[in-house]
Chains A and B, each alone.
Chain A
Amino acid sequence: MAKPRVSFHDFTSCEGCQLQVLNCEDELLGIVGAVDIVNFREAIDEKSDEYDIAFIEGAFTRESDRKRLEHIRKCAKIVVALGACACTGGLNVLKNFRGIDESMKKVYGEAASWYETSPALPIEAAIKVDVKINGCPIPKQEFLEVVKSVLAGRTPQIPDYPVCVECKLRENVCLFQKGEYCMGVVAKAGCNAWCPSYGGRCYACRGLITDFNKNAAKDVLAEYGLTLEQVMAEFRMFNGVFPVAEPPADGALKS
């Protein structure tokens, strides 16, 4: 089999996830041996439209980006959404709740009309995505898992269970027990409980697990003293694109 040609693309993001790829120092040489990297702005100068696997970083937040995304989709056999911005819209979605006009004014002031923007969305809103590497930033090991799995022709092993699982396996003291709160109970694992292991709370940057218990999220977080507004703010941080983060009419969390 010829080496798969790999391409990196960036949209609205901080490009920190591509940096995470470069941070795979120990493994990078092995990876570079197994694939041909044809586009990677952060690391190489070449440019090519011939590639098998496209890693796309960043949110879809300009209508004019749709064409570029569609072009990448056409060129690539496998499209991988790289990081929270590409997978869920990430932090960018916060502006959707503030109102686009207000955000524009705040960021660009008088020059707002010079710029194009639209509500931030995951790239899935424009093109089909085959694999998602969640996280802000992505965990290195998951990038490697995806590359190895694509090479081996298998589905990457990406968990769809809460961060609590990994947190317990690391025997961390639960943040709730320390009187704090944490989104780990509803957030997708795969980061090896990165933030809680260093004392920070989980913001669910890797998205929400399938079919999480909304009743529990509402009732239990309230018992820990969170108002509904605070709960919504937690959900909006990285998961504003999901209906659960929309303002509730009846005081209940939606799915």
Chain B
Amino acid sequence: MTMTMSNPASASPYLPRVATVAEACKFTPKEAWFRFEFADGQGIQYAAGQFMEVSVFGVGEAPISICSAPGKRGDLEMCIRAVGDVTNALHTLQVGQTVGLRGAFGNGFDMDKVAGKDLLFVAGGLGLAPCRSFILDALNHREKFRNVTILYGARTPADLLFTKDLEAWAQRKDSTFLMTVDRGDENWKGNTGVITTLFRKMPKVDPANTAAFIIGPPIMFKFAVLEALAMGLRKTSIYCSLERRMKCGLGKCGHCQIRNVYVCQEGPIFNYAEVMRLREGI
């Protein structure tokens, strides 16, 4: 009497698609970058700020932000920190190996909503990964925005991620890039100190006309937001990405729920006014 429904694979939102590791690069002992190509040739469309559920079968699934430029494309990039079983297993992936991917999930952010504005990106630590998606989108469509400022902070020079991008951004004449490390080493000639010290070193922005994207650990977010508010930015113009343990990505499992908001669907990108209203956001 048991009936096994022959569900077409695509009908189950819990069933991952197959993707192949096309490129991989170990940034630090803890953080590795991967570029995945979809094996089914159907590609993917995603917005900045969206995330994927990444499967290692037998170990589990973990939500990971996309770090590549948004759009409709055949591949996507993720920077993965080894903090748990799934991410540790992902670190052993070699080029040519396959993973399961579900998504893209989350609200994401359409950069056209802030066209014509000054943009301020503040990325702390691994927060640079989701932030990079926004930054690349802005730089790829540089003409849509006025001043672009990118601030990036890491713990030590050895913790810096996306160093090729950092060099490229520093070279650009059409935007400002500043970075700092909490502690330098003998070779470090750049800024030292927490990321908020960069606010004093950056060119002035037009606060009423600036959108800020502040993405990093909660403690960094709290202090960076204070700086942005002190500069006169509007709460509704400060955006962040909330980290939660999204198990399903489908607004069902409840793990990512903050009050009545499912971060996996209505987030992870929120403006600061919304975060304040949520109370339990940060």
Contacts and interface: CB of A to CB of B under 8 A. Distances in A.
- Whether A and B touch (Cβ < 8 Å) is answered with yes
Interface in A161-215: none
A152 B89 CA distance: 10
9 contacts: A152-B58, A152-B59, A153-B89, A154-B58, A154-B59, A154-B60, A154-B85, A154-B89, A155-B85
Interface residues of A, number: 4
Interface string A61-76: 0000000000000000
A155 B88 CA distance: 11
A175 to B, nearest CB: 29
A252 B89 CA distance: 45
Given A152-B59, A154-B59, 7 more contacts: A152-B58, A153-B89, A154-B58, A154-B60, A154-B85, A154-B89, A155-B85
Q: Tell me if A's interface is mostly helix, strand, loop or mixed.
A: loop
Contacts of A155: 85
Contacts of A154: 58-60, 85, 89
Contacts of B60: 154
Interface string B47-81: 00000000000111000000000000000000000
Nearest to A151: B58
Interface in A65-96: none
Contacts, number: 9
A160 B19 CA distance: 34
Contacts of A153: 89
Q: Is the interface of B mostly helix, strand, loop or mixed?
A: mixed
Interface in A145-159: 152-155
Interface of A: 152-155
Interface of B: 58-60, 85, 89
Contacts of B58: 152, 154
A224 to B, nearest CB: 31
Nearest to B85: A154
Nearest to B92: A153
B254 to A, nearest CB: 15
Most B Cβ at <10 Å: residue of A152, A153, A154, A155: A154
B92 to A, nearest CB: 9
B94 to A, nearest CB: 15
Nearest to A153: B89
A221 B75 CA distance: 58
Nearest to B60: A154
A152 B60 CA distance: 12
A153 B82 CA distance: 14
A153 B89 CA distance: 8
Contacts of A152: 58-59
B224 to A, nearest CB: 31
Contacts of B59: 152, 154
A139 to B, nearest CB: 21
A154 B61 CA distance: 13
B270 to A, nearest CB: 29
B83 to A, nearest CB: 12
B119 to A, nearest CB: 41
A152 B85 CA distance: 11
Top 6 A-B pairs ranked by shortest CB distance? A154-B85, A154-B59, A155-B85, A152-B58, A152-B59, A153-B89
B87 to A, nearest CB: 12
A154 B58 CA distance: 8
B194 to A, nearest CB: 31
A172 B60 CA distance: 30
A118 B60 CA distance: 44
B36 to A, nearest CB: 22
A107 B60 CA distance: 50
Contacts of B89: 153-154
A152 B59 CA distance: 8
Nearest to A152: B58
A158 to B, nearest CB: 13
Nearest to A148: B58
A154 B59 CA distance: 6
Q: Which of B60, B85, B89 has the most CB of A within 10 A?
A: B85
A73 to B, nearest CB: 23
B43 to A, nearest CB: 31
A87 to B, nearest CB: 22
Nearest to A156: B85
Nearest to A155: B85
A153 B85 CA distance: 8
A147 to B, nearest CB: 14
